[in-house]
Chain A
């Protein structure tokens, strides 16, 4: 069915506001939003966590009522007639809305019954969906036993049992590895092309914007930009450059460029530093790096993220303050010292080999990345390194100790920042700092000094009395890092350190980590974000419990570089590696 020219847009949002009461305060989650989404296209609702994406999507699906303004979906007023509108939409909530103790088949049956798909049509429809999602071999498996990526595809299949005209996907790619993300996008593209479906998809991954037909950029409850992604990037065309210089390390270079005049944004990209400038003219090396002789500046194509960061900075986003890293407690020796050594590490759960004969080593002052798809074994490896899980075989040493059996003092040399910034939510910022400083055996004057340092360096002074649960995500992340650094550790473990935070907070975070590494702290990080891999000196990519590849990001990308594909991203490299290892998945 070709789009009818006079038909109303798929979604029309006009002056919609919605607020919630949380902990005695009123939070305006969606603040006077006006937007539209055209039929037959993928509209991306893009913004960091807490921007109001989920609330806006629930408003559109008729699950919440707007305080003011009006929303029309396929020409129907959702506020007035939600049931009528809901009959025409499909909606996949966060965490996919699956019943974990039901099997794949049972979940599909349930949604088929609920959507009134006649039994006679189900067979063919299931075949099509199972083929599309690659879930065919797993119909008998409980949904709770599927990997994150498979759950995501099953959730999608359930909402597609009866093909809706309009599909809402709320953060379908969060916590899902790049391979699964790419597969999901392939399915979504297929649906819009062949079934003429309209899709509204929310995400905090900025790189996904480039796959959308149109983008609604959301920040702090407001739409700060609405256009097609090409227009966003066109606005910053000619502003992006790769910079490298001889005789200066990439981290030192990054630090200098980040503070240089005319530079809006600087990020590390493997061996280069990628900068975005205020004006479209190529910057002069003399202004950027006055005392460096051999600086090379090459223009590179703009990315969506460049325009988002430029927009945020223009709205008064804070620039990263210079960071005084703590001197590591017992910093000594040169950069060649091996701090973490893993030999033939194995971990077995029942008959399942979660980690299978893994070996690697990390040198002092290095940022070491542990990458992998869901279920690849990186979290298990990480937990064994921290001493949270005993290995089934092999040896591991952190700073010369096996943390599982080491004296408590050995654990005092490492800092740990858990996923989701695990803090004591009921405690204030100050109480969290006090507790962690004591837990790390600081006392007396030293303890007071370290707490003062944390409040000062992380800008936590003004919020020291605030309950940490109520803090914005960016502050939570800072507090979590401050807690992990109270005792000036030599080694820092970071588990998915920046998922969900906005790009400015992520830059600020990596700025600090860079400074720490420069000061000699060894950093071990697990991550889903392929851009973060660019910050690492050394990477290990895991799949099915084994190491698939190791090296720095340039060498991993170089394997994929061809004439037709001169500048593969880290994500391309990652996916290529995973697919090469498990060709069956690519189907």
Chain B
């Protein structure tokens, strides 16, 4: 019988937070967040399949301030997970494991994902303005 009282990994709370560990857990957190985004995408597509009324209800929900807040969070989660995912693919090819590169690529990931998030929303609002 397995002893469930023994310590099990990962011990997030016993280590001093560092840029490497914070970005690492953020990758997981954004990944789980994106799973929720996938459910919302399914609801959105299904509402369009149901017809104009259902789609209209979904659009009202998504266009509310709360809906926009959630979508903004999903946008950042996607760009962060994507950028840090590219960083992961670099590690998979044994590139970028040394501390200086870990720090610089980490900083690039944070700046790029924030920029792409803001840029996307500016473009979206710009597009609405044109309508």
Q: Do A and B come from one complex?
A: no
A-to-B contact residues, CB < 8 Å = none
